[in-house]
Amino acid sequence: MNKISLYIKQAWTMMRQDRLYSSIYITGTGLSIALTMTLFVILYVKFAPLYPEYKRDRTLIINAVSMTPKDTTSNNFWQSTPNYKLVEKLRELQNIDAVTGIVCEWNDEFHEASTRLSSSGVSPLFVDADYWKVYDFEFLSGSPFTSTDFTAKTKVAVVSKSFAETLFKSTDVLENKFFLDGSEYKIVGVVKDVPSSMHQHTTADLWLPATCTSIYAPGENDYDLRGGVFIAMTAKSPNVIDDLQDEVDEMMRKHNQQDKVYNHKLLGPDIFWANGFRQGEYLDEFDSLMTYGYILLALLIIPALNLSGMISSKMNRRRNELGIRKTYGATNRQLLTQILWENLFLTFVGGIVGIILSYLILMSTSNWIISLLSDGFIYSKDLLSANLSVEMLFNWSIFGGVVALCFLLNFLSATIPAIASLRHSIINSLNQKQ
């Protein structure tokens, strides 16, 4: 411990004595980390799951179903969202983990039950009990409504934190009641807010049983797959998502073989990547990751090479000093350890600078970063505040990985020139002009 303390003191002394070198080293390291972290954020927003869509890599959605007459002489064609009866059919598939039907409605009026104070602009989602298995919401209090509530058409609701605060000025609202379109609902759960620019399947102010809306209506005739619900499903694992798609296709083939007048065709199931708010033009995931990977390496390796050259120049200037230390009994191992501790100290300071710079860069260029991902779609700023600054900027596992890689490259940048300088004899080192 005493040796480490001594090494740190010597590193601090060296940094103060050669402020220009130290400033360049720290700035270069900090910029490398900051730019790498910024690119990681772009990569994260483009591809990674975000609350509450943590199962994006195994999520499939069906947005519509088309219907054409089996009589080929007719040109009639209809397309709409599916019926809930299709959800029930999908539950029978082998590779499916969970499937849910979602009904979207907007601009309904609501008010608190006791005061009957009115407000408008609420965005509810009508879902079933399996919705909470497909999407991973964070419950601040209470719990989701159950399949029993769904079947019994119980007037219960899960609300967002913002909705609770707007209506009741508090998040302690379990068992409180409010009116929606003339019906009284009881609150059974409060969830963390969902950024407003997330997918329409998850963005809402409150979530109610789908059986409480007239749009929900399992069909009993030849039009049974046409209705008013969106469908989201999760495969048991990302490895079987293709198998699940094949199962859905086979199910539809068998359905169309039945004695019915119409053929039904699903718009989907599509992978969630191609349907979320962050999709833009769908790109091959592997190719995209490889591209980002090359850029990330360049942002770290190029500065490391530059630092290596700078350290080599400094080692040549320090050969005389190293020679003097050798005459007083210092071994090559001790001198190498000291040089590496100096490098470690400067890299550590550079890491602190890096995290500060990454935050400043992201906050000052947030609109530009979002525009790179949106492909013309306008993102709301609450997405940035809710997901980038918290989940990414302060994601210590990711930041630690970047810093660790930077430490490794800086270690190699310092080790090679240091070993080369220490190979010189004491006489050659003492004769080296400073």
Q: In the beta sheet, which residues pair with residue 268?
A: none
pLDDT of res. 118: 45
Question: What pLDDT was estimated at residue 259?
Answer: 72
C-alpha–C-alpha distance, residues 385 and 10, integer Å: 42
Q: Which of 208-217, 248-257, 296-305 has the lowest mean pLDDT?
A: 296-305
Smallest Cα–Cα separation from 343: which of 419, 412, 399? Answer: 412
Least confident piece of the model among 258-262, 314-318, 359-363, 383-387: 383-387
**What is the model's pTM?**
0.64
| DSSP three-state, residue 126 | strand
Overall average pLDDT of the 18-34 stretch: 81
- Any idea which residue has 């989602």 for tokens? 125
Find which of 1-5, 81-85, 118-122, 373-377 is predicted with most confidence, using mean pLDDT: 81-85
Average pLDDT score over the chain: 75
The yes-or-no verdict on residue 401 having pLDDT over 70 is yes
Give alpha helix (H) positions in 328-395. Answer: 332-364, 366-374, 381-383
pLDDT at residue number 135: 93
pLDDT digits (tens, 9 = 90+) for 294-327: 666 666 676 666 666 666 666 666 666 666 667 7
Q: Which of 177, 131, 178, 186 is nearest to 157 (CA)?
A: 186
In the chain, the amino acid numbered 374 is: S
**Residue range 170-181: average pLDDT?**
87
Minimal CA–CA distance to 280: which of 42, 39, 46, 43? Answer: 46
Strand, helix or coil for residue 152: coil
How remote is the C-alpha of 157 from its chain's centroid?
A: 27
Residue 384 confidence (pLDDT): 44
The pLDDT, as a whole number, for residue 138 is 92
